[in-house]
Amino acid sequence: MSQKNVCFIGAGNMTRSIVSGLVKSGYSPKHITAANPSQPKLDALQQDFGINITNDNIEAAKSADVIVLGVKPHLMALVGEQLSDLDLSNKLIITIAAGVTAKRYSDYFKQEIKLIRTMPNTPTQIGVGLTGLFAGDDISAEDKTLCETLMATGGEVFWVNKEEELNQVIALAGSSPAYFFLFLEAMVESAVKSGMAEVSAREMAQQAALGAALMVKQNPDLSLTQLRNNVTSKGGTTAQAIATFEQGNIRGLVDDAMTNCIARAQEMAKQY
């Protein structure tokens, strides 16, 4: 991969995940800079990955070929204002923010910019992430390849044809690691309530989750229902657990959660 200078504006959770994926895949930390107002997260990134750090967004962006916007959506206007005096015409801007539409960025940065919208997730930090990507017709094949190559260091990439489809990527992959963590939390809480040590309960639940995820991935010809049925003996223990989930309308609950996730992204798109 050609080593472009990449800067991250904002050094929070998602920036850390992407930087980790990049460096672990062999991207030179000398070509990576993170900018953040407070110091501790920057220090941790420098210590863990050897990247350059600064408190100055403009300094970071000046020497960058690629600027990754890693701040919360409500701060995007402020960051755009801060960088608006720079000539950004030769830089590729990648945003990871949920719910800020591509057309808003030219207003924020007060100039036409080359922008690709992405939706990564935190498993990117260990190379098993998924990033949804959207580029308008104005973006060159070269810039698309550059963005894809950078984001693919953290796992799989998936281009969407319409910008609205990124909201489905949020519900399915950007936000969803938190759903699975919630499920594991609930399992561990139940086991602890029954008297098991938390550390043992977590170990068993996490190994079962890992095994289940790998079985799904390694058996693309088996339906999810088949994989579930293979665990579920008639009149047995799993059947009782599954019946309890179904009685609690787990499918309806998941549908509501994902629908509300998408609705929030749509609401944010009007807000920011």
Ligand X SMILES: O=C(O)[C@@H]1CCC=N1
Known binding positions for NADPH: 57
Handedness of CA 76, 81, 82, 88 (dihedral sign): positive
11 binds, among ligand X, ligand NDP, none (CB under 5 to 8 A by kind): ligand NDP
Give the amino acid at 206.
Q
Counting contacts by CB under 6 A, is residue 73 touching ligand NDP? yes
Minimum CB distance to ligand NDP, residue 254 (Å): 19
As measured in angstroms, the least distance from the Cβ of 272 to ligand NDP is 10
Task: Give least dist CB 9 to ligand NDP, A.
Answer: 5
Virtual torsion, Cα 264, 94, 86, 100, nearest 10 deg: -10
| Residues whose CB is less than 8 angstroms from the CB of residue 157 and which lie 6 or more positions away in sequence, other chains included | 130, 131, 132, 133, 148, 151
Work out whether 173 is an interface residue with ligand NDP (CB under 6 A): no
Name the one range near ligand NDP by CB under 6 A: 10-18, 145-153, 158-166, 239-247: 10-18
> Could you tell me the smallest distance in angstroms from the CB atom of residue 27 to ligand X?
23
Residue type, 38: S
Partner in contact with 57, chosen from ligand NDP, ligand X, none, beta carbon below 5 to 8 Å by kind: ligand NDP
Dist. CA 179–CA 255, nearest whole Å:
12
Determine if 114 is a binding residue for ligand NDP (CB under 6 A): no
d(C-alpha 94, C-alpha 97), whole Å: 9
In whole angstroms, the minimum distance from the beta carbon of 179 to ligand X comes to 11
Residue closer to ligand X by CB (options 70, 80) is 70
| By CB under 6 A, residue 38 contacts ligand NDP | yes
Please count the other Cβ atoms lying within 10 Å of the Cβ belonging to residue 237: 10
Output the known binding site for NADP(+): 9-14
Three-state SS for 168? helix
Chosen residue from 31, 41, 91, 117 binding ligand NDP by CB under 6 A = 41
Q: Which residues of 118-156 are buried (b: 16+ CB within 10 A; e: fewer)?
A: bbbbbbbbeeebbbbbbbeeebeeebeebbbebbbbbbe
Interface residues with ligand NDP (CB under 6 A)? 9-15, 35-38, 41, 57, 70-73, 75, 78-79, 96-98, 119-122, 174
